[in-house]
Amino acid sequence: MMRNKLKDIWVEGRPVLHGWLSIGNPFTAEIMAAQGYDAISIDIQHGALDYSAVLPMFQAMRASGVVAMARVPWLDPAAIMKTLDAGAMGIICPMINSRAEAEEFVSYLRYPPKGQRSFGPTRAGVVMPGYGLAMNDEILAFAMIETQVGMDNLEEIAATQGLDGIYVGPADLTLGTKAGRLPPGFDRQEDEMIALIQRIATVCRAAGIKAALHCGTPEYAAKAISWGYHMTTVSGDTRLLAGAAAASVARWRELTGAEPKAAGSTGNKGGTY
């Protein structure tokens, strides 16, 4: 039976560094997995991918030993169970607003008698020897709190039997609690948003579950760890690729003094090359 390494990290009192994949490509997944993250999630909800990309991405990440997880599109048993059968060791579920929804979510991750997961671990059963009922205690269930209703029910959600943690997406949490008054985004600086983010960590600690936060920078992630967060996501493949490319382009232009052509210009004043 395969042990979830994240549980061992938390037992040792260490925080988890979590990565994020939105590009549906096994090579991208393999590159990210080789960089030293403790865990990486595939974003099936908003990522540019579907299940046909998820399974080979899990395969590509296997050699690194990183804990492979996924954010599913919604509270849908078919999507959750199929992702687990592909080999996910943890599921992040968006838009959990009540204890009843949290209980429903948890039930889809556990085999009877603890839940209602259907048995058929197509890939997981092959690459994880002994895969079966014992996985009920290894698969991680993270509920996302993203709305005012979710915040109103925070304590009840956190107390759900079998829920392992709450995952905070600050962009949707901002949209869902501030009625559009504040723009979405990571690394919130507003006192009112920091208060909400800190409250979630406090409630998780009281309930004995883990708090996870999606961050844009290592600096903010370190701050979140000091607030009591147990797992922090630091950006993701799309933003990291865009940021590195932009920095490289800007540095080249700075060193060479070559400015980009104006929009619509061909740069060809006479003939062809």
Give the residue numbers marked as catalytic. 46
Q: Positive or negative CA dihedral for 180, 183, 184, 186?
A: negative
Beta-carbon neighbour count of residue 107 at 10 Å? 17
Using DSSP's 3-state secondary structure scheme, residue 60 falls into: helix
**Residue recorded with tokens 């205690």:** 137
Closest CA relative to residue 72, chosen from 63, 81, 80, 61: 80
**Burial environment of residue 233 by CB neighbours within 10 A (0 to 12, 13 to 18, 19 or more):** buried
Helix (H) / strand (E) element for 234: namely strand 231-234
Question: Beta partners for 144?
Answer: 167
- Asked if residues 186 and 223 have their Cβ atoms less than 8 Å apart, the reply is no
- Asked if residues 70 and 91 have their Cβ atoms less than 8 Å apart, the reply is yes
- Asked if residues 34 and 61 have their Cβ atoms less than 8 Å apart, the reply is no
Question: Beta partners for 20?
Answer: 41
- Asked if residues 157 and 150 have their Cβ atoms less than 8 Å apart, the reply is yes
Using DSSP's 3-state secondary structure scheme, residue 251 falls into: helix
* Strand intervals (E) in 54-195: 67-71, 90-93, 140-144, 165-168
